[in-house]
Structure 1
Amino acid sequence: LQSDGYGAYDGLPQVTNVGCLAHARRKFMEAKKLQGKGKSGKADSALAKIQKLYALESRLKLASVEERWSERQSSAKPMLDDLYDWLTTRKVIESSPLGKAIKYTLGQWPKLIRYVEDGHLSIDNNRAERAIKSLVIGRKNWLFANNPNGADASALLYSIIETSKANGLILYDYMV
Structure 2
Amino acid sequence: DEVAFTWSHSRGMLHAKAQLQDFTGTLLTDGYAAYTKTVEQLNQHERQIVHAACWVHMRRGFEKALDSEPHTAQQALDIIATLYRHEKHIRDKQSDLADIHTYRQQHSEPLVTDFFRWVYQQRQRTDLLPKSPFAKALHYTAERESQLKVFLSNPALPMDTNHLERALRVIPMGRKNYLFCWSELGAEQLGILQSLMVTCRLQGVNPYHYLVDVLQRVALHPAKDVLDLTPRVWKEKFADKKLTSDLDKMG
Q: What residue number does 1:31 align with? A: 65
User: Offset of 1:172 from its aligned partner?
Assistant: 3.5
TM-score by length of 2: 0.59
Q: What residue number does 2:78 align with? A: 48
Spell out, residue by residue over 1:138-168, the C-alpha distance to the aligned partner (whole angstroms, 9 max, x if none): 46756442795x6677556534433332322
Answer whether contact 1:142 1:151 (CA < 8 A) is retained: no
Q: Map 1:21-100 to 2 at 5 A.
A: 21-32=55-66, 34-35=67-68, 40-61=70-91, 62-90=94-122, 91=125, 92-100=128-136
Amino acid at match of 2:182: A
- Tell me, which stretches of 5 or more residues in structure 2 are unaligned? 1-26, 213-251
User: Offset of 1:127 from its aligned partner?
Assistant: 1.5
CA 1:139–1:66: 2 relative to 1, 3 Å: same
% identical aligned pairs:
29
Moved more, 9-18 or 64-73: 9-18
Structure index of larger Rg = 2
Structure 2: distance between partners of 1:99 and 1:123: 23
**The residue matched to 1:16 in structure 2 has which SS?**
strand
Structure 1: distance between partners of 2:210 and 2:143: 45
Higher relative contact order (CA 8 A, sep 6+): 1
User: Offset of 1:175 from its aligned partner?
Assistant: 3.8
- Tell me, which stretches of 5 or more residues in structure 1 are unaligned? none
Amino acid at match of 2:142: L
Is 1:101 paired with 2:130?
no
Q: Which of 42, 50, 57 is 1:16 aligned to?
A: 50
TM-score by length of 1: 0.82
Answer whether contact 2:83 2:111 (CA < 8 A) is retained: yes
Q: How many residues align?
A: 171
Spell out, residue by residue over 1:70-92, the C-alpha distance to the aligned partner (whole angstroms, 9 max, x if none): 11111111101111121111123
CA 1:96–1:57: 2 relative to 1, 3 Å: same
